[in-house]
Amino acid sequence: MSYDSLLERFLTYVKINTRSNPESNTTPTTQSQVDFALNILKPEMEKIGLKDVHYLVDNGYLIGTLPANDTSHTRKIGFISHMDTADFNAEGINPQIIENYAGGEIKLGQSGFSLLPEEFPNLNHYHGQTLITTDGTTLLGSDDKSGIAEIMTAMEYLASHPEIKHGEIRVGFGPDEEIGIGADKFDVADFDVDFAYTVDGGPLGELQYETFSAAALDVDFIGRNVHPGTAKNQMVNALQLAVDFHNQLPEADRPEKTDGYQGFYHLHGMSGSVEKASSSYIIRDFEDSSFENRKAFVKKIADKMNEDLGSQRVVISLKDQYYNMKKVIEKDMTPITLAKQVMEDLDIKPVIEPIRGGTDGSKISFMGIPTPNLFAGGENMHGRFEFVSLQTMEKAVDVIIGIVKS
């Protein structure tokens, strides 16, 4: 089905910089997310007919309700997307619209960058479709402005078509998902649904209820700096300790060498000097036992290094971030069964695979609302090569409408 407001709505959203900031201690972490919620989304939600639209200062979520129009539909369903975008330039987003994509190169404005099928074979899935791309200087923000636009368009359509019978629907737009803290303060009692979906996935058909379990690992290395000419048996090079620590991790257990259900250690930051250095890792795995084994292994490395050094020069800090939501959702597969059937009825092939990452649904599921993830359409997310198909976004709206009327 075609939705007249979808493209304009999406373009309006993505042009607004809502990048989150991991260095901030506020909620949300950037004022732009607050402004987007209060100045753009809230008035629009009220205009299209959502009720009890309210912004929760404590957690940065904007919540609205489409009341039930049929008492026989007793199930309450929620749809959630996040307002922030990832850590790539989000200022001055200038989307390109490629109608009836015929294949081949797509030049990204005057940036000198291009989308090439040889580098991005996923382009070959979109011949004949309308693609929205970047101009090569920013990300697009389809993650997750696509999801917000799709939810809003579905709610607008349902509000203007009362002949489509449905139960109570709650929508929530939250902050800071990209930095892993957006759902930490999610208010389950306020949202009050039987189950929900994050509309935050990638290509057509994605339906996901398994995520990594995740931990953050920070390691501080304490050295002793003396003149290198007289360093023998005196200097302790903190940078070398960081290298030695890293070299003891399994070489094959890196993101660039793993897929499917394989976990990894990912070094994403290293800095310092001879006197003091630090490394930051994320640890990911799907199974509880292997997740715990990974955490125990890094502790073992640190303990052995400290024993050999004769003092506590390797100091680790481990923090669990989220857990595999499969443990919650598999207890009642209704949300998955329902979405799968709706997709099949729409001639969309469900793609049920684990997320090699996390969504807000991971934390929300463990808080008491089972929340699997639906496709939103974005490809090559978090950078200048990001794009999305308008037709895929339209199908996401179809799926949302199909779920609520089932």
Closest listed residue to residue 144, CA positions, set 1, 5, 36: 36
Active site residue 84: yes
Active site residue 99: no
Give the separation between CA 398 and CA 406, rounded to whole angstroms: 12
Give the separation between CA 397 and CA 391, rounded to whole angstroms: 10
43, two tokens: 């008035």
Kindly name the residue from 84, 135, 176, 379 that is annotated as catalytic: 84
Asked whether 174 and 59 are in contact (CB, 8 A), the reply is yes
Kindly name the residue from 143, 156, 168, 177 that is annotated as catalytic: 177
Asked whether 129 and 204 are in contact (CB, 8 A), the reply is no
Please state, as a whole number, how many other Cβ atoms lie within 10 Å of the Cβ of residue 250. Answer: 11
Q: What crossing angle do the helices spanning 6-14 and 142-160 adopt, rounded to 10°?
A: 140
Sequence-distant (≥ 6) Cβ neighbours of residue 372 within 8 angstroms: 197, 198, 207, 208, 209, 325, 329, 335, 336, 339, 361
3-class state of residue 268 by DSSP: strand
Residues annotated as part of the active site: 84, 177
